[in-house]
Amino acid sequence: MGILEWATSPLGQRVPIHIAWFLIWVALIAGLVFLIVHAIYVRYFAKHKEFASEASPAEVLNLPARIPRHSLAARLFHWIMAAAMFVLLFTAFLPKVGVQFNWVTYHWIAGTVLTISILFHIVHSIFYMDFWSIWPDRSDLEDAGKRIRRFMGMSTTRPGKFAKYPLENKLYHGVVMLTGLAVIITGVCMMFRVRTIFFPRNPYLFSDMTWGMMYVLHGLAGVGLITLTIVHVYFAIRPEKLPITASMIVGSLSREFFLKEHDPRRWVVKGLSDRKDLAHGD
Ligand code: HEM
Ligand code: HEM
Q: Which residues of 129-142 are buried (b: 16+ CB within 10 A; e: fewer)?
A: eeeeebeeeebbee
Beta-bridge partner residues of 18 = 5
Q: Which whole-number Å values give the CA distances from 204 to 22, 186, 210, in the listed order?
A: 29, 15, 11
pLDDT tens digits in sequence order for the chain, 282 residues long? 699 999 999 989 999 999 999 999 999 999 999 999 999 999 999 888 888 877 888 888 889 999 999 999 999 999 999 999 999 999 999 999 999 999 999 999 999 999 999 999 999 999 999 999 999 999 999 999 999 998 888 888 999 999 999 999 999 999 999 999 999 999 999 999 999 999 999 999 999 999 999 999 999 999 999 999 999 999 999 999 999 999 999 999 999 999 999 999 999 998 777 766 555 544
Q: Which amino acid is at 262?
A: H
Residues with CB under 6 A from ligand 1: 18, 85, 88-89, 92, 104, 107-108, 111, 114-115, 183-184, 187-188, 190-191, 193-194, 215, 218-219, 222, 225
Phi, psi of 251 (to 5 degrees): 105, -20
- Domain spans, the chain: 16-40+72-227
CA of 228 to the centre of ligand 2 (A): 10
Give yes or no for residue 171 CB within 6 A of ligand 2.
no
CA of 107 to the centre of ligand 1 (A): 7
Q: Which residues of 244-270 are buried (b: 16+ CB within 10 A; e: fewer)?
A: beebeeebbbebebbbebbbbebbebe
